[in-house]
């Protein structure tokens, strides 16, 4: 399988401030790679380095086998990009924006634009300045997808979109990957990343802390049980249970991490009057929150 993105000890400093430090990772052809981290962690800086919008302080990056700095024009013709701070020409209609971007790529606007507009419920006839944030986002997505790029670089692509359109965007990512194209997806919507990503990278304080498959991460994470009691259970009521650890307590609502059989926990809970109980297997959000809190058992 071909490698589409390679970062080798990629570092960017903004004067005395930290940007990203020693990032090393690769993204393979045909995969959806989720890039996760809170605000200020370095996600946007990483994307700007991949696109040569900022230059690295040290390290090396290759995208589609090209140097983004030296081969920028050739590279951009093969990319589809939705930036987190999407800006479009305010006085143009959505269709005019697409005509303009197609011309920059040496293409004419074809029927694909209308097909994508239908899927995303986008109105191409209105001036950009009259569009809501979500409808502007649709135009940005169409221009990125229109030429069927080899690599999609998407920064918060579903921001401002309603749930039905969000689902269409996820489906378009799946279709791109199924066709052998590649998606680099930066998002705060962890449930969305979980549904489409093959692997995720987690960045914290400018450093890449892990890169791993989504299913592998979930398999190593703890399940979660949230119990609402009629009365506050005594401290340490669940401390001696095998595979059980209390992680949060808000009055009579107790959250427990579970790594093992549930039977001992069920019997311990039954000693108290239970008002409500919610239990689910670990998902990507649990993994992410545990990682950032430094919970035991986190990846």
Give whole-number Cα distances, 100 to 11, 108, 153, in Å: 34, 9, 20
Q: Which residues contact 193 (CB under 8 A, 6 or more apart)?
A: 34, 36, 185, 187, 200, 214, 284
20: enclosing H helix or E strand: strand 17-28
Cβ count within 10 A of residue 224: 21
Catalogue the E-assigned strands of 58-214. 58-63, 79-82, 151-155, 182-186, 199-204, 207-213
| Whole-number average pLDDT of the chain | 89
Domains of the chain plus CATH, in order, are: 3-215 (3.40.50.300), 222-281 (3.30.70)
pLDDT surpassing 90 at residue 154: yes
- The span from the CA of 87 to the CA of 180, in Å, is 29
Angle, vertex CA 158, rays to CA 288 and CA 206, nearest 5: 40
What is the phi/psi pair of residue 187, to 5°? -155, 150
Residue of 17 and 219 predicted with greater confidence: 17
Question: Which pLDDT band, with edges at 50, 70 and 90, does 275 fall under?
Answer: very high
- The span from the CA of 153 to the CA of 185, in Å, is 6
64-120 pLDDT tens trace: 999 999 999 999 999 999 998 899 999 999 999 999 999 988 889 989 999 999 999
């Amino acid at each position: 399988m071909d490698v589409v993105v390679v970062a080798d000890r990629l570092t960017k400093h903004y004067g005395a401030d930290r940007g990203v430090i020693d990032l090393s990772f690769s993204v393979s052809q045909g995969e959806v790679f989720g890039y996760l981290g809170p605000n200020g962690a370095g996600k946007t800086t990483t994307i700007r380095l991949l696109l040569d919008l900022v230059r690295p302080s040290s390290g090396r990056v290759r995208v589609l086998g090209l140097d983004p700095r030296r081969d920028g024009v050739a590279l951009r013709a093969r990319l589809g990009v939705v930036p987190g701070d999407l800006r479009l020409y305010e006085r143009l209609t959505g269709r005019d924006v697409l005509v303009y971007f197609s011309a920059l790529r040496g293409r004419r606007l074809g029927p694909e634009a209308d097909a994508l507009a239908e899927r995303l419920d986008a109105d191409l006839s209105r001036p950009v300045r009259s569009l809501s944030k979500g409808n502007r986002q649709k135009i940005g997505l169409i221009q990125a997808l229109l030429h069927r790029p080899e690599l999609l670089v998407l920064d918060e692509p579903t921001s401002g979109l309603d749930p039905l359109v969000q689902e269409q965007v996820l489906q378009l990512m799946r279709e791109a990957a199924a066709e052998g194209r590649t998606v680099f997806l930066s998002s705060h919507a962890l449930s969305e990343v979980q549904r489409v990503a093959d692997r995720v990278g987690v960045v914290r304080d400018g450093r890449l802390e892990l890169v791993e498959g989504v299913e592998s991460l979930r398999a190593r994470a703890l399940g979660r049980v949230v119990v609402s009691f009629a009365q506050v259970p005594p401290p340490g009521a669940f401390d001696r249970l095998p595979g059980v650890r209390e992680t949060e307590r808000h009055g009579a609502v107790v959250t427990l991490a579970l790594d093992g059989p549930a039977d001992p926990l069920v019997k311990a809970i039954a000693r108290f009057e239970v008002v409500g109980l919610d239990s689910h297997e670990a998902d990507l959000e649990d993994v992410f929150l545990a990682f950032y809190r430094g919970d035991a058992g986190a990846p």
